[in-house]
């Protein structure tokens, strides 16, 4: 097992303080958007060895059986199947959707064959993997997630139309058009057409976005959709005139309390708006953007990828096998997340065994103990435990309670003890 050094990505939407505060570190002064814990080649963690250090992906390449174990290798091959992040959004991320494994494999192969450079702005697929993900809120966490019903979306658009009429302003032609599109009988098709009409952008869309934002800036109509409209106004401040401002009104507006989680399967369009969370995903960086961005949007590929069927917010329930032990198991094989809270001096009997594990100490301090090795971890420290370290226990320091997050593969059955 190894202590890890993890890269912090400085994407512009990142908070300058949340990650540093949470992990008990000094802020860098730059935006700190995501800390990556894992072996994704985009920003692999670095393992601290007795002498020197090594990239975690290279250590795994050199000993896949010892570090990943037979179950993980049989299911996912010779790479660590999951990636864990601490994510801190100060301002909204792009609307985005992730492909299925088949789409990613086909798309990646096609772009490789065309020799599109991996960092080209038009490149869609950075790797051949899908990227189902989950996010667990550590603070209040705001997001857009999947389509609301066409009826609800139409209600919002109609409220805007009425609002324009009441104030005597000209109603932008696009709004009644959007309303009648959303009223079409086949719901997924209605939503798809509404979305497709907006995402292609152009002067009419950006003019309507600006007119709506100007109207909402004067006041927000009261009622059940005030939060959605406030969000649209806020999004226009970050991305003026962007089609994503109107698209956001078609989406579920989600507020998570700390400890609540959602999972995002392939095809679910979503955007994180604000807050600190722990995100776990299949080890992939495949993102198709769908608005709220100045970057490239491949509209055709996007329309092939987004699932337009409205769905309730995919909230993820926890199970609790013992006091202080919570498990979030989304319906994906690649990963699960656990939270372990221990009273001072007490011990968690056994961390997941025979599989790869990443541990993050969120508060307090503790010791990871395997047969031949122990690792002391303080607040903000992380460790990788290879499959061959078996069994491994976690003990809290004598003075404070310990809170640790543990990510591992999803198909793993807990070993009885
Ligand atoms: Zn995502």
Nearest to 74 by CA among 384, 416, 387, 338: 387
Digit-coded pLDDT (tens) for 344-375:
999 998 999 999 999 999 999 999 999 889 99
Q: Are residues 135 and 276 in the same domain?
A: yes
Q: What is the pLDDT of residue 411?
A: 73
Ligand 1 centroid – CA 92 distance (Å): 12
> Is position 173 annotated as part of the catalytic site?
no
Task: Give the pLDDT mean for 16-24.
Answer: 97
Ligand 1 centroid – CA 267 distance (Å): 10
Q: Are residues 261 and 126 in the same domain?
A: yes
Is 310 inside any structural domain?
no
Q: What is the pLDDT of residue 324?
A: 95
Q: Are residues 241 and 282 in the same domain?
A: no
Q: Are residues 11 and 43 in the same domain?
A: yes
Q: Indicate the pLDDT class of residue 417, thresholds 50, 70 and 90.
A: very low
Q: What SS3 class is residue 391? A: coil
Least confident of 138-142, 270-274, 347-351: 347-351
Q: pLDDT over 70 for what percent of the chain? A: 99
Q: Two tokens at 247?
A: 């698209």
259 in Cβ contact with 278 (< 8 Å): no
Q: Are residues 187 and 274 in the same domain?
A: no
Ligand 1 centroid – CA 373 distance (Å): 37
261 in Cβ contact with 144 (< 8 Å): no
**Looking at the 3D structure of the chain, how many domains does it have?**
3
Q: What is the pLDDT of residue 390?
A: 83
Nearest to 404 by CA among 388, 381, 370: 381
Q: Are residues 8 and 96 in the same domain?
A: yes
The residue written with tokens 């912090």 in the block is 8
23 in Cβ contact with 380 (< 8 Å): yes
Is 267 inside any structural domain?
yes
Ligand 1 centroid – CA 168 distance (Å): 40
Q: Two tokens at 208?
A: 């309507």
Task: Give the pLDDT mean for 331-339.
Answer: 96
Q: Are residues 106 and 10 in the same domain?
A: yes
Ligand 1 centroid – CA 360 distance (Å): 21
Ligand 1 centroid – CA 251 distance (Å): 15
What is the span of the domain harbouring residue 326? 318-408
Task: Give the pLDDT mean for 135-156.
Answer: 97
Q: Indicate the pLDDT class of residue 225, thresholds 50, 70 and 90.
A: very high
339 in Cβ contact with 404 (< 8 Å): yes
Q: Indicate which residue of 148, 253, 289, 339 is catalytic.
A: 289
Digit-coded pLDDT (tens) for 33-88:
999 999 999 899 999 999 999 999 999 999 999 999 999 999 999 999 999 999 99
Q: What is the pLDDT of residue 413?
A: 56
The residue written with tokens 């809120």 in the block is 137
Q: Are residues 121 and 176 in the same domain?
A: no
- The C-alpha atoms of residue 64 and residue 72 are separated, in whole angstroms, by 9
Q: Are residues 190 and 114 in the same domain?
A: no
Q: Indicate the pLDDT class of residue 295, thresholds 50, 70 and 90.
A: confident
Digit-coded pLDDT (tens) for 88-112:
999 999 999 999 999 999 999 999 9
- The C-alpha atoms of residue 412 and residue 252 are separated, in whole angstroms, by 32
Q: Which of 269, 300, 331 is the last residue of a domain?
A: 300
Averaged pLDDT score across all residues of the chain: 95
- The C-alpha atoms of residue 218 and residue 230 are separated, in whole angstroms, by 11
Q: What is the pLDDT of residue 274?
A: 97
Is 311 inside any structural domain?
no
């Amino acid at each position: 097992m190894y202590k890890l050094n993890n890269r912090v990505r400085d994407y512009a939407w990142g908070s300058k303080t949340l990650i540093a505060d949470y992990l008990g570190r000094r802020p860098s002064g730059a935006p700190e958007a995501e800390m990556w814990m894992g072996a994704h080649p985009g920003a692999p963690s670095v393992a601290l060895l007795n002498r020197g250090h090594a990239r975690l992906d290279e250590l795994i390449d050199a000993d896949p059986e010892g570090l990943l174990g037979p179950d993980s290798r049989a299911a996912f091959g010779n790479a660590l199947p999951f990636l864990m992040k601490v994510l801190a959004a100060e301002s909204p991320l792009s609307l985005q959707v992730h492909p299925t494994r088949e789409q990613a494999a086909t798309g990646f192969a096609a772009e490789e064959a065309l020799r599109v450079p991996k960092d080209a702005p038009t490149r869609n697929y950075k790797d051949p993997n899908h990227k189902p993900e989950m996010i667990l809120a550590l603070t209040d966490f705001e997001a857009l997630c999947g389509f609301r019903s066409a009826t609800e979306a139409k209600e919002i658009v109609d409220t805007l139309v009425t609002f324009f009429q009441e104030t005597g302003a000209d109603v932008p032609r696009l709004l009644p058009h959007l309303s009648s599109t959303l009223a079409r009988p086949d719901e997924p098709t209605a939503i798809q057409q509404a979305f497709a009409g907006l995402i292609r952008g152009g002067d009419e869309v950006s003019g309507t976005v600006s007119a709506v934002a100007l109207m909402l800036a004067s006041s927000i109509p009261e009622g059940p959709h005030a939060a959605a409209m406030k969000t649209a106004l806020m999004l226009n401040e970050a991305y003026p005139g962007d089609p994503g401002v109107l698209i956001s009104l078609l989406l579920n507006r989600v507020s998570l309390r700390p400890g609540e989680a959602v999972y995002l399967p392939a095809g679910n369009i979503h955007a994180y708006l604000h807050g600190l969370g722990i995100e776990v995903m299949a080890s992939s960086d495949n993102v198709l953007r769908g608005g709220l961005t100045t970057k490239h949007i491949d509209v055709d590929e996007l329309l092939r990828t987004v699932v337009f069927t409205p769905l309730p917010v995919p909230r993820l329930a926890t199970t609790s096998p013992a006091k202080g032990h919570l498990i979030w198991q989304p319906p994906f094989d690649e990963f699960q997340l656990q939270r372990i809270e221990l009273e001072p001096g007490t011990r968690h009997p056994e961390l997941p065994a025979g599989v790869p594990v990443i541990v993050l100490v969120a508060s307090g301090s503790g010791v990871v103990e395997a047969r031949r090795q122990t690792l002391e971890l303080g607040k903000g420290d992380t460790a990788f435990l290879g499959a061959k370290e078996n069994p491994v226990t976690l003990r809290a320091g004598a003075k404070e309670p310990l809170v640790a997050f543990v990510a591992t593969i999803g198909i793993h059955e807990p070993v009885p003890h």
